[in-house]
A and B are shown apart, each in its own frame.
Chain A
Amino acid sequence: MKNMTIKTSLTALTLAMGLGAAQQASAANWLMLQGTEPAGSAPRAKLWGFVQAQYQKDFSDSFGAGEVYIPPKLIGPNLETQDQFNVNRARIGVRGSNFPLDSKTNYFVLIEMGRNGITNHGDAFAKVTDASVTFNHIPGARVRVGLFKNPGPEEGLQAIHVFDYINFTTVTNQLMLERYPVAGYTNAPAQSIPGADFNKIGNSVGAFRDTGIQVFDTFKSGSWETAYAVKIGNGSGLEITDNDNNKDVYLYLSTEKVYGGKGGRREGWKFFAWSQSGKRIDPNNTANEYDRKRYGVGTKYLKKPFRVSAEYMKGKGMIFQGPHRPGHMFNDLEASGWYVEGGWYIPKTKLEIDLRYDSYTREENHPTSVAGDESRYKTATIGMQYHFNKKTRLNMEYSNRNYESDTTAVNNQYEGVKGRFAIQVTAIF
């Protein structure tokens, strides 16, 4: 299986190298925006970052005589209350061309100091989320090494400070935002608040990142840009070091009709496909090894005043069962989901209206699995953004959630899952 994966990687790489005959692009997509600097005009060290402060309220009902809750009814990352203010993200970083006379090397460092799934475990003051160096010596095959984002789903790969919503779709949150339980983990039952203790994972979320090496580049042909990435990583998220001999393989291919603009909100119509595959070891039973496979295809169209995007994702193995049930996530189950969303930038105003619908099916085709029967999660979100200026905006959203499970005990709790309101300010510097 590993040989086959490497073969697939090489085929993709060869295909992408073939595209090298086309003219090289400068910086135009997430791979390039995050992994490269503009040649000859990058600073030695550019200080940058952003702050996201938010308030969220969950309207879900408790269940049973003990008025107990489950994680989807509480506000993360602490999962102790149904409404709270939070500084969700406070990131500061430095990037640039370390030796400005030589455009062939650049670096990227970013540290998280907000309170979220990255920092919540162990009450970490800060955690490094990115630390990478890119070598641009080989035409058509740039090489990036270190800790950085994995080529993958749009919600994970894109810069989070230009994300058009506050909360991820359920499919991205559950299927793609990987959790890493530590040895000695235990499950937790539904609990009452205050005092609930649901975080049983023990490590930071993966934050769609991994430590490894990536070969990538982008090629321009007329108004079309085609990008590829092949990454091999530890499969250990933000933990940087590896805990086994297995390596993850990440593949990504995109092509985009570029309409104009630049940066994270460049206008264009992008089509992309990706895959991720690796193995995970159960830290409570290191003899047990599980495949983790993820695939996805999607598209994103942005030409103001309209934006439309959609993505389908599928996964097998290591299907997340909630932060309170790490004991069930070492599995060979299947899951899939999709989302479609759109935005309308109201002309001559600073307002933007966003609509999103996402669907996620967990334990697909496994009605008698140990982790429970099939569960379905459907969420409709209406959002609004007010852009004070290019670097500062206010997001507001309300999500109507409809969760159901074929397992009666789980479904009893899911029936009480209701709407969630969130408001967030983002300031980029």
Chain B
Amino acid sequence: MKSLKNWLMLALLALSLGLSAQAMADKASKPFAEKRVVLQISDPNPFKQTLVLNVANNLLKHYGPDKVDIEIVAFGPGLRLLFADNANKGRIKRLVENGGVRFSACSNTIRNMGKKLGHPPVLNPNAVKVSAGVVRILDLVDQGYVLIKP
């Protein structure tokens, strides 16, 4: 029993250390950023894909890549934006390479879509899996990010 308690304590410690490290890493990628923005894409409308990428692009143009930190979190039907063959893959690549934009993919959605597809969807190499899209957004908001849902 004592041993189980120790393991749980250890696990909680590791989790909190991990989250802290992740939070530090989020901000560390843009140490001089004056604005921190999380963009949500969860809509099935393809126009929203274009819109969210446009917003990210406009933020980068306005503030400059070093002054704004952007993460796009995709979950639900919006996860299609991060499919490997998505027609916007070129724009995503440019936003990552030129603007340091991060893309997060919801693992819950990946799992559910995998059930419908019969196999897990193949994701864009620039997408980073997070446990749950909505949790990721809440964590970023807690860290001071402003949530925008175009």
Contact with A along B118-135 (1 / 0, CB 8 A): 000100000000000000
**Residue among A26, A43, A101 with most chain B CB within 10 A:** A101
Q: Is the CB of A101 within 8 A of B46?
A: no
A41 touches B87 (CB 8 A): yes
**A100-B44, A101-B80 known; A41+B121 contact, CB < 8 A:** no
Known: A100-B77, A103-B85. Is A41-B46 also a contact (CB below 8 A)?
A: yes
**Contacts A100-B44, A101-B121: A41 and B77 contacting too (C-beta < 8 A)?**
no
Size of the chain A interface, CB-CB below 8 angstroms: 13
Q: How many residues of B contact A (CB 8 A)?
A: 17
Indicate which residue in A27, A41, A44, A102 contacts B86 across the interface (CB closer than 8 Å): A41
| Contact bitstring A34-49, B, C-beta under 8 A = 1, else 0 | 0000111111100000
Query: B87 contacts which chain A residues (CB < 8 A)?
Result: 26-27, 38-41
| Distance of B41 from chain A, by nearest CB (Å) | 11
Which residues between 72 and 118 of chain B lie within 8 Å of chain A, taking CB atoms?
Answer: 77, 80-81, 83, 85-88, 113, 116-117
- In the complex, residue of chain B having the shortest beta-carbon distance to the beta carbon of A46: B46
Separation of A41 and B85 alpha carbons in the complex (Å): 10
Shortest beta-carbon distance, A177 to chain B, in Å?
34
**Does B83 lie within 8 Å of A103, measured CB to CB?**
yes
Q: Provide the bound-state CA to CA distance between A100 and B76, in Å.
A: 12
Proximity string of chain A (92-112) to chain B, C-beta cutoff 8 Å, 1 when within and 0 when not: 000000001111000000000
Instruction: Decide yes or no whether B42 CB sits under 8 A from chain A.
Output: no
20 other contacts beyond A27-B87, A38-B87, A41-B50, with CB at 8 A cut-off? A26-B87, A39-B83, A39-B85, A39-B86, A39-B87, A40-B81, A40-B83, A40-B85, A40-B86, A40-B87, A41-B49, A41-B80, A42-B46, A43-B44, A43-B46, A100-B80, A101-B80, A101-B116, A101-B117, A101-B121
